[in-house]
Amino acid sequence: MSSTETSTGDTPAHEPSPHAPQGAGSQRHLVQPLRVAADGVHHASGAERVAGMEPPPQARVSHMQRHLGWMGKPLYYATLIFGAAMMVVPFLWMFSTSLKVESDVFQFPPEWLPDPARPENYPDALTIAPFARYLANSAFVTITDTVFSLTVCAMAGYAFARFHFRFRNTIFIAVLATMMVPVHVELIPQFILMRGLGWIDTFQALIVPSIFWPFGIFLLRQFFMTVPKELEDAARMDGAGHLRILFGLMVPLSLPAMAALGIFKFMFTWNSLIAPLIFLTSREKFTVTLGLATFQGQYETQWALLMAATVVALVPIITVFLIGQRYFIQGVALSGLKR
């Protein structure tokens, strides 16, 4: 990432062809924002260059299928289903355990269906530790962080993309360089800084440092550079100021990047352990990850209770994922274009 050129225009292979292979129907939403992302320095991919020679998609699919044959397919499905089972079984097992009577947990070989079922584990877990409070704290911290972070990254990204000023590139490279420093390296100075600011055991300590996100600034700058200048000029003719141009034009035109960044931020902040662990001290301020880790410390071997608490901690983020999964997956695909 020594310069932006190497950052964006590195390889056409990152760029999905618009003529996606047979899975195209279900994959199209993945493809579209990626192309926008790569536009910074847009290389025509191999498939695009020979697009004229490609048979129409319909014909190609049947052609493909004929040659792929059906021999490998059952094996593929078997592998995928086996893998999917591996992914799901721990969750199901956790859920099953969470509904058991504590003494039934210790059965070998294990039983899948809790008999008798004990849904009271859930209210129990919720009264032993204030999980509702933890979830509310996590929601507040995560949403505030995400909103402010996107705003700050958009402002800086716009300035770097569209303005000329002295030392612009030097400053930009300095910002990029901080991307290389792992957060764990900065933990101790950040702790000292927070102590100096009197922010220990406050939500600011979790939110404020996290708002300033070099990767976000970088990605939005790349996106803003692809917005045609003419659009900006037209908006200016209509009397729009810089903030109107930024939030009314650039940001809406970069929605895939904004969504991707927002989702990344959301996931990282929601799931983060180390920052709450070192900055928070009082229980009523705990986020759900820290609350759950602490809960485990106390009820280490009460598996039914512990699993119920873990389910409680997981349900909100999994719900958010299932609702917005399109954006999650786009966001991840986009991150492959990071460099």
Partner 1 sequence: MKARLASMRWGRRRTLVAIGLLAIPLAGVLVFRIMPAIASFALSFTEWNLIAPPEFVGLSNFEELVGDPTFWQALWNTIYYVGGAVPGIVGVSLALALILNRGIRGIKIFRTVYFLPVVSSMVAVGIMWRWMFNAQYGLVNAGLGFLGIEPINWLGSQTWAMPALIVVTVWREIGFYMIIFLAALQGVPRHLVEAARLDGAGPWQRFWGVTFPMISPVTFFVSIMAMINTFQAFEYMYVMTEGGPRDSTLTLVYYLYLQGFEYFRTGYASAIALVLFTIILVITIVQWKIGERRVVY
How big is the site for partner 1, counted in residues (CB under 8 A)? 125
- Which CB sits closer to partner 1, 188 or 234? 188
**Interaction pattern, residues 77-96, with partner 1; x per rule: CB under 8 A:** x-xx--xx-xxxxxx-xx--
Among 53, 113, 116, 282, binds partner 1 (CB under 8 A): 53
Judged by CB under 8 A, the stretch of 121-129, 151-159, 223-231, 253-261 that binds partner 1 is: 151-159
Closest CA to 305 of 317, 315, 295: 295
Q: How many whole angstroms separate alpha carbon 168 and alpha carbon 292?
A: 44
The secondary structure of 273-319 as a DSSP string is -HHHHHH--SGGG--HHHHHHHHHHHSTT-HHHHHHHHHHHHHHHHH
Residue range at the interface with partner 1 (CB under 8 A); choices 19-27, 120-128, 222-230, 249-257: 19-27
Candidates 18-26, 119-127, 223-231, 251-259; binding stretch for partner 1 (CB under 8 A) = 18-26
Among positions 273-332, residues that touch partner 1 (CB under 8 A) are 273-274, 277-278, 288-289, 292-293, 296, 303, 306-307, 310, 313-314, 317-318, 320-322, 325, 328-329, 332
Residue 50 interacting with partner 1 (CB under 8 A)? yes
Comparing CB distances to partner 1, the nearer of 194 and 226 is: 194
Residue among 99, 135, 175, 206 that touches partner 1 (CB under 8 A): 175
Between CA 330 and CA 262 the distance in angstroms is 12
156 counts as binding partner 1 under rule CB under 8 A: yes
Q: Least distance to partner 1 from the beta carbon of 116, Å?
A: 18
Q: How far apart are CA 46 and CA 143, in angstroms?
A: 41
- Per residue, the 3-state secondary structure of 152-205, as one string, reads HHHHHHHHHHHCCCCCHHHHHHHHHHHHHCCHHHHHHHHHHHHHHHCCCCCHHH
- The least distance separating partner 1 from the CB of residue 229, rounded to whole angstroms, comes to 14
**Considering only residues 7, 8, 17, 226, which one is a binding residue for partner 1 as defined by CB under 8 A?**
17
CB 122 within 8 A of CB 308: yes
Residue 52, interface with partner 1 (CB under 8 A)? no
Q: Coil, strand, or helix at residue 137? A: helix
Q: What angle do CA 125, 313, 118 make, to 5 degrees?
A: 40
**Residue in 1, 40, 77 with CA at minimum distance from that of residue 227:** 40
Residue from 40, 118, 141, 158 binding partner 1 (CB under 8 A): 158
